[in-house]
């Protein structure tokens, strides 16, 4: 992250008055040799048009933030050594391109792996304005335009954003405005109850009035607030279910409150029974979101967006696309991704996400999706992302949120070029390593779609039985004969939530793509995979291969001339990753060996 900022060559030690002024500043410092004219054209909105008008002369036309996005796109192409087009027109596919921070008022970050909160400390807003401007610049440079600063689990006193902390929050919004970034707040559905109202029932008049008055107060301090983000009836958070109301009634009540100010309610669909009895085989957690929301399609107000995690579980290394994203045809949808590496290596293990996101986008006719959100991977660490290479996820997320057709290879190699001054060969090696890192991680942790073999709660490292007898609905049910869950029509019926063409692709274990096999099917260890191997042999092979690939990554990283302090951080975390990969490989192979009694055909060491 720092590297990209330093390529911009100038510190932002002033508060720009507008995106246009900022665009001028960035262009004149990053590309002083070029003559770049900025022509405001509000009709282009956030989009821009770039035209060559002479050998070294260009015009960028755009709406206020369009000029800024055009300037950054231009600067990045130039600094990355890409040829500059004679003409380029671009506008974002998604209206809201959001970063959701899970930051708590005490300065901690839920699932944060890069230090403490950038925004909070000791129960209140507390930030370094210089870093806020850096963050605004990072977001604007990849076209991100909404920043939700507080955790969706709104613990007291983060609620004060709507109350005592409003002036401070307004000052923060002022800092981000010239970067084209609007703030958003997570709100607690039961907040009226802190103000003497005995209920949070969305149909209660006192509750409705409280939210309307609160919205009016908040919007008079921050007129361009993007809106409210809500996690309701999920993992212990309050919500409409307490009052026998459905989520359309809850979301629409808040939508009424913010509508006069042009605000949006982003309502998360991460709703499931987190107190499931493991003996209960009728309930299948991935079915939950569909069951809670599909029947409400068409009942949400037009300023409500349902925010759906990209898969039906919770950011596992491999999940199918959520059926809700395919099935809600009369509702505004946002897809939620997670940059924070909760289940994917805690920003210790290298895990580049864009190949995974590409698979999701390629399955998705995106006409109903109007916005994108990602859980932040940022914190107070000097490099923002803890692991310097985790910055590739922030960067490429921005590119995808602007243009979901962005391909993995050019996006990652551009990030490498903008970040490190490497030779072409070195750049190629790092790009390849990053692009293959997700498959490597998947192989040594949870291949074939099995999911959930991770250490409970902390979510780093292996514990194959850790969640088996727990409350969270995340079971693989491995026994001496078989593993996986049958989610077809003969099993839990989850697959029936998809369109027919999709069902056909996955319903038969003989033809189901290997990578999703154990997500959809329960199979005996002797099951023959398409390549002739048995399932158990494939499980062993993937884990051994993943560990070998991690070793190879380590060798490659040692040859690359990373500058300090990146080199030291990258190499020391790679050592930790290797240790993690070995634990995963040995523990999971031993787990299955003990259950199945099957020997590895290649005679490799599996511990007893
Ligand atoms: C913010 C998972 C995480 C929680 C997170 C939750 C969510 O359950 O482990 O930390 O809470 O997802 O997305 O709301």
- For 302, the token pair is 């037009």
Same-domain status, 24 and 137: no
Which atom of ligand 1 is nearest to 336's Cα? 13
Catalytic residue, chosen from 26, 46, 134, 342, is 342
CA of 572 to the centre of ligand 1 (A): 28
CA distances from 329 to 115, 119, 306, 332, 366 (A): 40, 37, 12, 8, 11
Looking at the predicted structure, is the pLDDT value of residue 297 above 90?
Answer: yes
Q: Spell out the alpha helix ranges (H) of 377-423.
A: 391-402, 408-419
Cβ atoms within 10 Å, residue 464: 21
d(CA 490, CA 488): 5
3-state secondary structure 241-280: HHHCCCHHHHHHHHHHHHHHHCCEEEEECCCCCCCCCCCC
Which atom of ligand 1 is nearest to 110's Cα? 10
- For 257, the token pair is 């409150």
The last residue of a domain, from among 53, 69, 90: 90
d(CA 529, CA 277): 33
Which atom of ligand 1 is nearest to 309's Cα? 13
Looking at the predicted structure, is the pLDDT value of residue 367 above 80?
Answer: no
CATH of the domain at 556: 3.90.1330.10
Looking at the predicted structure, is the pLDDT value of residue 482 above 90?
Answer: yes
Residues 6+ apart with CB under 8 A from 18: 64, 178
Q: Is 342 a catalytic residue?
A: yes
Catalytic residue, chosen from 128, 164, 235, 405, is 235
Strand partners, 338: 375
Which atom of ligand 1 is nearest to 234's Cα? 14
CATH of the domain at 313: 3.20.20.80
- Residues with C-beta less than 6 Å from any ligand 1 atom: 102, 110-111, 152-153, 231, 235, 270, 314
- Residue identifier of the C-alpha nearest atom 7 of ligand 1: 270
CA of 474 to the centre of ligand 1 (A): 14
Asked if the bond preceding 203 is cis, omega within 30° of 0, the reply is no
pLDDT of residue 86: 94
Mean per-residue pLDDT, 196-225: 97
Crossing angle of helices 354-362 and 408-419, rounded to 10°:
150
Looking at the predicted structure, is the pLDDT value of residue 1 above 80?
Answer: no
Looking at the predicted structure, is the pLDDT value of residue 426 above 90?
Answer: yes
Domain membership of residue 512 (yes or no) is no
Domain membership of residue 27 (yes or no) is yes
Ligand 1 binding pocket mutation candidate from 117, 270, 455, 457 (most atoms within 8 A of CB): 270
Same-domain status, 186 and 334: yes
Mean per-residue pLDDT, 374-401: 98
Mean per-residue pLDDT, 39-68: 96
pLDDT of residue 357: 98
By the 8 A CB rule, do 37 and 59 touch? yes
Same-domain status, 44 and 118: no
Domain membership of residue 502 (yes or no) is no
Cβ atoms within 10 Å, residue 402: 22
Half-sphere exposure (Cβ direction) of 27: Cα atoms closer than 13 Å: 22
Same-domain status, 394 and 533: no
d(CA 42, CA 20): 12
d(CA 151, CA 231): 9
pLDDT of residue 12: 83
CA of 354 to the centre of ligand 1 (A): 21
By the 8 A CB rule, do 163 and 124 touch? no
Domain membership of residue 307 (yes or no) is yes
Q: Which of 115-129, 359-373, 533-547, 554-568 has the lowest mean pLDDT?
A: 359-373
Residues 6+ apart with CB under 8 A from 568: none
CA of 18 to the centre of ligand 1 (A): 36
Ligand 1 binding pocket mutation candidate from 314, 322, 336, 458 (most atoms within 8 A of CB): 314
pLDDT of residue 168: 95
Same-domain status, 397 and 454: no
Same-domain status, 86 and 125: no
The last residue of a domain, from among 90, 114, 147: 90
Ligand 1 binding pocket mutation candidate from 98, 100, 101, 102 (most atoms within 8 A of CB): 102
Number of H-type helices and E-type strands within the chain: 17, 16
pLDDT of residue 332: 96
- The per-residue DSSP string of 95-116 comes to SEEEEE--B-TTS-BTT--SSS
Ligand 1 binding pocket mutation candidate from 235, 340, 470 (most atoms within 8 A of CB): 235
Looking at the predicted structure, is the pLDDT value of residue 366 above 70?
Answer: no
Kindly report, residue by residue over 232-262, the tens digit of the pLDDT: 999 999 999 999 999 999 999 999 999 999 9
CA of 113 to the centre of ligand 1 (A): 14
- For 500, the token pair is 């027919």
Which atom of ligand 1 is nearest to 152's Cα? 1
Torsion angles phi and psi, residue 38, rounded to 5: -105, 125
Domain membership of residue 514 (yes or no) is no
d(CA 437, CA 553): 8
Ligand 1 binding pocket mutation candidate from 111, 112, 313, 374 (most atoms within 8 A of CB): 111
CA of 102 to the centre of ligand 1 (A): 9
By the 8 A CB rule, do 149 and 98 touch? no
- Residue identifier of the C-alpha nearest atom 13 of ligand 1: 270
Which atom of ligand 1 is nearest to 338's Cα? 13
Same-domain status, 207 and 303: yes
Band of residue 158 on the pLDDT scale cut at 50, 70, 90: confident
Question: By residue range, what is the domain housing residue 116?
Answer: 96-419
Residues 6+ apart with CB under 8 A from 487: 284, 286, 493, 494, 495, 519, 520, 521
Please give the span between the terminal C-alpha atoms of the chain, in angstroms, as a whole number.
44
pLDDT of residue 468: 96
Which atom of ligand 1 is nearest to 342's Cα? 9
CA of 419 to the centre of ligand 1 (A): 31
What is the chain's length? 608
Which atom of ligand 1 is nearest to 231's Cα? 14
Q: Is 51 a catalytic residue?
A: no
pLDDT of residue 215: 97
Domain membership of residue 102 (yes or no) is yes
- Residue identifier of the C-alpha nearest atom 12 of ligand 1: 314
User: What proportion of the chain, given as a percentage, has pLDDT over 90?
Assistant: 94
Long-range contacts of residues 279-287, Cβ cutoff 8 Å, at least 24 apart: 283/473, 284/473, 284/485, 284/487, 284/492, 284/493, 284/494, 285/312, 285/313, 285/472, 285/473, 285/474, 286/312, 286/313, 286/487, 286/494, 287/312, 287/492, 287/493, 287/494, 287/497
Same-domain status, 135 and 122: yes
Query: With 0-12 CB in 10 A as exposed, 13-18 as middle and 19+ as buried, what is 198?
Result: exposed
Same-domain status, 472 and 561: yes
pLDDT of residue 159: 79
Cβ atoms within 10 Å, residue 481: 12
Looking at the predicted structure, is the pLDDT value of residue 563 above 70?
Answer: yes
- Specify the number of domains making up the chain: 3
Domain membership of residue 503 (yes or no) is no
Q: How much is the mean pLDDT over the chain?
A: 96
The last residue of a domain, from among 73, 90, 107: 90
Looking at the predicted structure, is the pLDDT value of residue 518 above 70?
Answer: yes
Q: Is 235 a catalytic residue?
A: yes
CATH of the domain at 51: 3.30.379.10
Residues 6+ apart with CB under 8 A from 173: 182, 183, 222, 224, 225
CA of 543 to the centre of ligand 1 (A): 27
Same-domain status, 169 and 235: yes
pLDDT of residue 242: 97
Same-domain status, 400 and 276: yes
CA of 467 to the centre of ligand 1 (A): 16
Domain membership of residue 456 (yes or no) is yes
CA of 375 to the centre of ligand 1 (A): 10
Catalytic residue, chosen from 103, 188, 233, 314, is 314
Which of 344, 403, 405, 410 is closest to 377 using CA atoms?
A: 344
d(CA 500, CA 507): 10
Same-domain status, 554 and 471: yes
């Amino acid at each position: 992250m720092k590297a990209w900022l330093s390529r911009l060559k100038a510190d932002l030690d002033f508060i720009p008055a507008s995106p246009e002024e900022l665009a001028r500043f960035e262009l004149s410092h990053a590309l002083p040799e070029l003559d770049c004219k900025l022509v405001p054209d509000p009709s282009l909105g956030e989009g821009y048009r770039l035209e060559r008008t002479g050998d070294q002369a260009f015009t960028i036309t755009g709406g206020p933030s369009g000029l800024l996005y055009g300037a950054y796109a231009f600067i990045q192409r130039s600094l990355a050594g890409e040829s500059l087009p004679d003409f380029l027109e671009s506008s974002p596919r998604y209206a809201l391109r959001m970063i959701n921070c899970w930051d708590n008022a005490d300065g901690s970050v839920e699932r944060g792996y890069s230090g403490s909160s950038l925004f909070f400390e000791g129960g209140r807003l507390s930030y370094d304005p210089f870093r806020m401007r850096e963050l605004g610049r990072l977001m604007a440079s990849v076209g991100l335009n909404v920043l939700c600063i507080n955790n969706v689990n709104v613990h007291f006193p983060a609620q004060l954003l709507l109350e005592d902390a409003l002036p401070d929050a307004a000052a923060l919004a002022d800092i981000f405005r010239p970067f084209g970034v609007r703030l958003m707040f997570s709100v607690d559905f039961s907040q009226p109850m802190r103000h003497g109202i005995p209920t949070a029932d969305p149909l209660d008049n006192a509750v409705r009035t409280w939210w309307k008055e609160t919205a009016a107060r908040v919007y008079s301090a921050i007129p361009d607030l993007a809106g409210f983000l809500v996690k309701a009836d999920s993992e212990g958070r309050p919500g409409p279910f307490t009052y026998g109301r459905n989520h359309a009634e809850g979301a629409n009540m808040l939508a009424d409150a913010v509508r006069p100010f042009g605000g949006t309610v982003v309502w998360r669909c991460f709703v499931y029974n987190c107190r499931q009895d493991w003996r209960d085989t009728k309930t299948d957690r991935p079915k939950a979101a569909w069951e809670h929301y599909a029947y409400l399609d068409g009942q949400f107000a037009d300023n409500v967006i349902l925010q759906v995690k990209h898969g039906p579980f919770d950011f596992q290394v491999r999940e199918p696309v959520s059926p809700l994203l395919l099935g809600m045809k009369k509702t505004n949808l946002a897809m939620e991704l997670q940059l924070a590496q909760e289940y994917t290596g805690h920003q210790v293990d290298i895990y580049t996400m864009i190949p995974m996101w590409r698979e999701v986008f390629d399955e998705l006719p995106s006409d109903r999706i109007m916005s994108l959100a990602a859980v932040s991977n940022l914190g107070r660490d000097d490099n923002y992302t803890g692991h310097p290479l985790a910055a590739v996820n922030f960067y490429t997320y921005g590119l995808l949120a602007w243009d979901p057709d962005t391909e993995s290879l050019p996006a990652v190699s551009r990030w490498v070029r903008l970040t490190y001054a490497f030779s072409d060969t070195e750049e190629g090696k790092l790009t390849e390593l990053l692009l293959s890192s997700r498959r490597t991680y998947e192989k040594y942790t949870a291949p074939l779609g099995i999911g959930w073999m991770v250490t409970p709660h902390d979510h780093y490292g292996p514990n194959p039985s850790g969640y088996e007898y727990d409350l969270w609905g995340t079971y693989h049910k491995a026994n001496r004969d078989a593993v996986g869950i049958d989610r077809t029509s003969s099993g839990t019926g989850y697959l029936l939530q998809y369109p027919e063409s999709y069902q056909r692709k996955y319903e038969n274990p003989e033809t189901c793509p290997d990578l999703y096999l154990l997500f959809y099917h329960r199979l005996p260890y002797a099951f023959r995979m398409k390549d002739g191997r048995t399932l158990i042999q494939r499980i062993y092979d993937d884990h051994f291969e993943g560990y070998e690939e991690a070793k190879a990554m380590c060798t490659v990283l040692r040859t690359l001339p990373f500058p300090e302090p990146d080199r030291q951080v990258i190499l020391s975390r790679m050592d930790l990753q290797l240790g993690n990969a070995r634990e995963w490989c040995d523990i999971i192979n031993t787990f299955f060996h003990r259950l199945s009694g099957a020997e590895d055909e290649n005679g490799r060491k599996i511990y007893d």
